[in-house]
Structure formats: C-alpha cells, structure tokens
Chains A and B, each alone.
Chain A
Amino acid sequence: MTDELPPDKIAKLLTQSTRHLDSGTLSALSNARQNALQRQAVRAPVLTLAASRWAHVPVHIPTYQWVFAGLVAAMLVIGTGYWHHDQEQQITELEVAILTDELPIEVFVD
C-alpha cells in the first residue's frame, strides 16, 4: 500500500543527508550565520519605568512617536494660549463697555 510510507524514516534519512554537505556549502552557511549575528538587533534601553513591576522592562520609543508627541504638546500649548488670549480679550471688551456705559441690549435681555 502506498499509504504505508513512514514519514519518520524519511525524516531520518533527510537528516542523514545534511551530514554530507560539501565543505564549500558548510563554509558558506557559516559565513551567512556570522553575517546574521553581526546584524542582530541590539536594543539599548531608552526609557525605563521605575518603581513598578515593569521596572526591569525597557520601553523603546521610536523617533516618529517622539515627533508625534512633540507636535501634540505644541498644539496643546498653542491652543491653550489662544483660548486664554481670547478670554482676556472678551473680558476687556466687557469692562470697557461697562465703564463707558455702552452695554449692548443683549446683556439685559438675558
């Protein structure tokens, strides 16, 4: 029967075949391995969370995330400044109107 093929025996023979590779191939494989090992990702810790159970885990933040965080922070500062300036401007106009007794009719309606 064709279904009686034992895959484990084929696997053993294939493993046996790997022991007979020629020296040139083995040398090339060794060189390939050395090349790969030289490029192994070295991950230096950038930021470490302290005083928690994650204290030993380095947190890696890519550059683009730093740029994005900077942009968000800048937008927050600008937005807050604009809102603050706008509030001051409205208060000043109201004070001037009160002092000059030129309040608009809407103030009394409400």
Chain B
Amino acid sequence: MRHERLFATIPPRKGASKLSSPAELAQFLSSVERRAYKHALYAVRDEHTALDIVQDAMIKLAEKYGGKPAAELPLLFQRILQNTIRDHYRRQKVRNAWTTLFSSLAPKNESDDFDPLDSLRDEENQSAPATPDDALRQNQVIALIEQALVKLPARQREAFLLRYWEGMDTTETAITMGCSEGSVKTHCSRAAHALAVALKEKGVELP
C-alpha cells in the first residue's frame, strides 16, 4: 500500500530523532487543520468532502505515523493529504464514468457578484484591516484569489500551495508531490503566471 512505503521516501530532518508524543501530534494537527481543509476545499470544491478528506488524512497520519518524530510530521501529513485528494479524484472519475451515461455534468458557473478591486490600501497590516471597508475589500480579494486557485490545474495548484503557502522548499515539495524538482519549478512558475493573469483580468493588483 502506498502509505506503507511513504516514510521510506522521506529523508529524516535534522533533529528528528525524538518521537512525537500525543500532545505534540495534537498540537501539530491543530496547527495544520485549517490550511489542510482549505487545500482540500480548493481541490474538491465541496465542504463536506473536504472535511472527510482532512479527517481521513489525520487518521492515516495518527494510525500509521503517530509515533514518528515530530519533525517528520509536516511532510508526512502533506503527502498523505495530497494522496487522499488524488484518491478522491480517482473515485470520482470512476463514478462520473457511470453517471455520465445517465446525466450530463452541470458546469459550475463562477459568479462575479462584485466589482474588481484595484489594490489593498492597508499595506502595513494586511492581516488586520483598519476599517470595515478594508476588511470587505480584503475578503473580496481573498475570494478572487480562491476562485483563481480553484481554476488552476490540480498539479499547479498543489505545487503553488505547498511551495508558497506551506513554505516547503523545492525538494520537499517534490517529495510530497512524487515528482522531480524541475517539475515543481515548472508547476510553480505556471501557477504564478496563471494566477497573475487571472487576477489582473479581475482588476486585482496586489501591493
């Protein structure tokens, strides 16, 4: 099974000799669960499915690698999460092959309810908008970014999020994605380009 071979492909990090305690695992899961949910949500576009995927990934990590050193957990968890998302894609593909015999797929029309934004004014403190207007603008920009992310090809989105959101280096991203470092660089470059184009079309320019 893939998860049984997973740990062998991940090189140990420096200072990774100490095994993780239940408290450390709890702290780790608590620190990544929201981002993991967003990862899954961007991939599958369904809240309940995304929650299921995150729970599956958490359980797999705890059951199979719960005793591994705490320093190994982030890479292990990300790989398990991405594999779980891919498993979902495979199952969905099989399901779709049957359901398309009886019904056509309903395309998801992205609604553009709000106007494009020029930029964020609050350059000094993006995480805490000064006024409700700024907060609204920020939420709208976030929504536009999320829409653009959802439209990216899966591998590009995966590479971009792992590399820039999870803060992994190219090697770690390549291990997590199961591809070469060159592929990671290509995916990241294309994703950044596609995001920039998509956001510019919406009139969004990040400061």
Chain A contact residues, CB within 8 Å of chain B: 2-21, 25-26, 28-29, 31-33, 35-37, 39-41, 43
Contacts and interface: CB of A to CB of B under 8 A. Distances in A.
B87 interface: no
A4 B192 CA distance: 9
Given A25-B37, A40-B22, A6 B51 contact: no
Query: Which applies to chain B's interface (DSSP): helix, strand, loop or mixed?
Result: helix
Nearest to B21: A40
Interface in B25-42: 25-26, 29-30, 33-35, 37-38
B63 A41 contact: yes
Contacts, number: 117
Contacts of B160: 7
Contact of A35 (B59, B141, B206): B59
Interface string B184-207: 000000001101110110000011
B59 A5 contact: no
B61 interface: yes
Given A5-B195, A11-B164, A37-B29, A16 B47 contact: no
